[in-house]
Structure 1
Amino acid sequence: MVHALEQRRQVRQLAAELAARGWLPATSGNLSVKVKADPLCIAITRSGADKQQLTEADVILVNGDNQVVDETPYRPSAETAVHTQLYNKFGCGAVLHVHTQYNNLVSDAYFEDGGVELTGYELLKALGHWEENARIRVPIVENFHDLNRLASAVAAVADPDVPGVLVRNHGIYAFGQSADEAKRHLEALEWLFEYHVRRIQFAAARRRLEQI
């Protein structure tokens, strides 16, 4: 039997850090770390768990068919299929899904465009974009109630060069080759969303002041 103590610990540590930032409010969000690739096995947060107080039992082992391979009374996150599709597509090492005000604002404001463009920001380097005047486009998909449909939509637009996918009025899935890399990608994307929104707000306020 696979115990995956280290991966469970990583999930719990990530949950504590991200919850402390207010990114996993009201038991929302889900986090996973890959245990092994072939056959796929991941450690993922259970459904309905308070991410600030996860115990080892709150992190469940699931296979590539979204089936629990643990002895547990709990159910894995309802969005497990999104995670497994990303692992199957990229062979990534961790997938992090959080809900923040800024990623929700951006996902709603730019949904009709299919994505939000972020250009020239220094923190794009944290996503691997060191080129001058770097530009990325973070894709946005509809918040489908059918979670298998949501999983397919996220996987379809996910791009290793832009390690995150927004879901309209819902949150973001960020991924990386390790838990540390996924966290770095998530932190960078969240900072970029907040700065992008605040920059627009500041520009609008400045125009209003100039008209007085």
Structure 2
Amino acid sequence: MSVGQRLADEAARYASMGWMRGTSGNLSVVLQRDPLRLAVTASGLDKGELTESDHVEVDADGQPVSDGVPSAEAGLHARIAAVSGAGAVVHVHAMAPVLAAERWPGGVELCDLEMLKGFGRAAHDDLVTIPVIRNGQDMRVLGDAFERGYRADTPALIVARHGVYVWGDDLRQARHRLECLEWLLRFILESGRDPR
């Protein structure tokens, strides 16, 4: 299956979950490392209706190197891929991460929850802190904030009042991590308990 079709299929899945409403959210896949090139979903399109050709190739700064207009956040995707070594980055506007960041703006702590294993961490005695950064429109500024708080064992970043970025070796691993993280965040919000 082509990269474009994989991006379209994943975007349709997230749109059906209500995590990519309207034209929001974006996905990327690393095409090559040296120089860094990513395929990123195109800007301004309904993510539930993408076709195989609705993506743009971008460079390490998120600038297009093929026809089309990439997501405005392509630069942050590229920074995350460069720093983390991820093969895919997903960005959605699920409600739970945004609400969690509102409640815990210094970082969202998770511990002693079985679903942490699906996120790539231990189920017990492993304090996981999901970094939260302030929103903005300059992807270099957001990238710098991401890099300052980056931990190799925590494949996620919440942008306050915006959404969440999760990454993995490929789109499938990134999706599994995102689904688990969304469950974890919903649990701590809905249970009303301290995350620890």
TM-score range, shorter chain: over 0.9
Runs of 4+ aligned residues of structure 1 deviating over 4 Å after TM superposition are none
Conserved 8 A contact 2:114-2:123 = no
Matching of residue 184 in structure 1 with residue 180 in structure 2: no
Unaligned runs of at least 5 residues, structure 2: none
Q: TM-score, normalised by structure 2?
A: 0.93
Which amino acid in the other structure matches residue 118 of structure 1? L
Match of 2:102 in 1: 108
Once the two structures are superposed, what CA deviation does each residue of 1:34-79 show, in whole Å capped at 9, x if it has no partner? Answer: 1111111111011111100001231111122322222x2x310001
Matching of residue 90 in structure 1 with residue 90 in structure 2: no
Match of 1:46 in 2: 42
Where does 1:74-153 land on structure 2 (aligned, <5 Å)?
74-111=68-105, 114-130=106-122, 132-153=124-145
Conserved 8 A contact 1:106-1:116 = yes
Please report the RMSD computed on the Cα atoms of aligned residues, expressed in angstroms: 1.5
- State the identity as a percent: 36
Equivalent residue in structure 2 for 1:196, among 185, 188, 194: 188
Conserved 8 A contact 1:10-1:33 = no
Match of 1:208 in 2: none
Once the two structures are superposed, what CA deviation does each residue of 1:175-196 show, in whole Å capped at 9, x if it has no partner? Answer: 1111111111111111111111
Conserved 8 A contact 1:41-1:64 = yes
Unaligned runs of at least 5 residues, structure 1: 204-212
Separation of aligned partners in 2, 1:159 and 1:6: 31
Separation of aligned partners in 2, 1:148 and 1:199: 36
Which amino acid in the other structure matches residue 20 of structure 2? L
Q: Work out which of the two has the higher radius of gyration on C-alpha atoms and give 1 or 2.
A: 1
Higher share in helix: 1
Which amino acid in the other structure matches residue 22 of structure 1? G
Q: TM-score, normalised by structure 1?
A: 0.86
Conserved 8 A contact 1:98-1:172 = yes
For these two proteins, the number of residue pairs brought into alignment is: 193
Once the two structures are superposed, what CA deviation does each residue of 1:73-97 show, in whole Å capped at 9, x if it has no partner? Answer: x310001110111111122100000
Conserved 8 A contact 2:62-2:77 = no
Conserved 8 A contact 1:40-1:64 = yes
Conserved 8 A contact 1:121-1:134 = no
